[in-house]
Amino acid sequence: MSFVFRGLARMMARAFVSVAVSAAAVAVPGMATSAHAQTALPPRVTEQVVMVPKVGTLFTVELETTIFRPPGEGPFPLVVISHGKAPGKPAFQGRARFAAQSAEFLKRGYVVALPMRQGFSRSGGMYIGGGCNVQANGLVQAEDLVAALDYLTRQSYVDAERIVMIGQSHGGLSTMAFNAIGYPGVRGVINFAGGLRNESCDGWENNLVDAFADYGRTARYPSLWIYGSNDSFWPWPLPEKMFNSYKSTVSGSAMDATFVDVGDFEFDSHRLFSSRNGIRVWLPPVEAFLRRVGMPAE
């Protein structure tokens, strides 16, 4: 099935633990300084930072990964959140926590994992940009999501048969590229304002549209796309073009793709996921999507 909703806002390794703290802790070494990092988590939530191994043909890279666990032994369903790309060098980017956003899934009984991709924050290796080849860039980033799942699905507290992948901005592109690769146990993917903008490349908008068409050809899972009309990165109607390009090539389960246009969100809808104020906007369609793919939503 395919649905389009408009104006929603208007209507309303060493795989070891390097840091382990309770949600009540005041600070964590290496904690991101962004606003979402300061938000309190639900009671009795455990936060860990682990260095997840990404094994390559020549060497192994460790990926700095934040893991939030609800109280109890599990196994719990898993949400993996993939971060965006801030201006500047990726190595200087803070560790993603998205605490307020993660809390919504923790309250619903999920484990939430946030891997920093290669070259970002304290993850090893160098960021691989891929030049103007957006499609290749996304696939390289998606390899890190596979590495994270290789580690996470071996943990006793994770239900390896109930997984949802979420990505924001560059992480949204990475998540849709991951959808073209697949992994056992994944039920669906959610794309918040996904893409990669490189104005030094001629026809960067068309490159982006073509990349999503390429991902669609081998896409495996239902998807939810959430964009806004005042996105500072993706001028309208580019989001619709990306979605329609993807839809034109998908088959099977991936044909269940939903596009949500939230309209204008504050001064920039690209911030919808990262802003606490955006939660009330995106949570209803996300809950509906979770129900549709057989995942906890209450």
Tell me: the pLDDT tens digits for 241-292? 999 999 999 999 999 999 999 999 999 999 999 999 999 999 999 999 999 9
Which has the closest alpha carbon to 228: 172, 168, 268, 173?
Answer: 268
Rg (CA), the chain: 18
Mean of all residue pLDDT scores within the chain = 89
Note if the bond before 70 is cis, omega within 30 degrees.
no
- Give residue 16's pLDDT: 34
Percent of the residues in the chain that have a pLDDT greater than 90, as a whole number: 81
Regarding predicted confidence, which is higher, 4 or 55? 55
**Superfamily classification of domain 2-292:** Alpha/Beta hydrolase fold, catalytic domain (3.40.50.1820)
Give the position of tokens 């290496």: 30
- Give residue 35's pLDDT: 36
**Residues 6 or more apart in contact with residue 132 via CB below 8 angstroms:** 198, 200, 201, 202, 204, 207
Residue 172 confidence (pLDDT) above 70: yes
Supply 280's token pair: 């009330």
Which pLDDT tens digit goes with each residue over 190-206? 999 999 999 889 999 99
Which pLDDT tens digit goes with each residue over 118-143? 999 999 999 988 689 999 999 999 99
Can you give the residue ranges of every domain in the chain?
A: 2-292
pLDDT (average), residues 106-126: 97
Element (H or E) spanning 244, and its range?
Answer: helix 238-247
Residue 235 confidence (pLDDT) above 90: yes
CA dist., res. 127 & res. 81, Å (int): 18
- Give residue 39's pLDDT: 54
CA dist., res. 226 & res. 198, Å (int): 21
Q: Are strands 257-261 and 2-6 parallel, antiparallel or unpaired?
A: parallel
- Give residue 153's pLDDT: 99
CA dist., res. 14 & res. 67, Å (int): 15
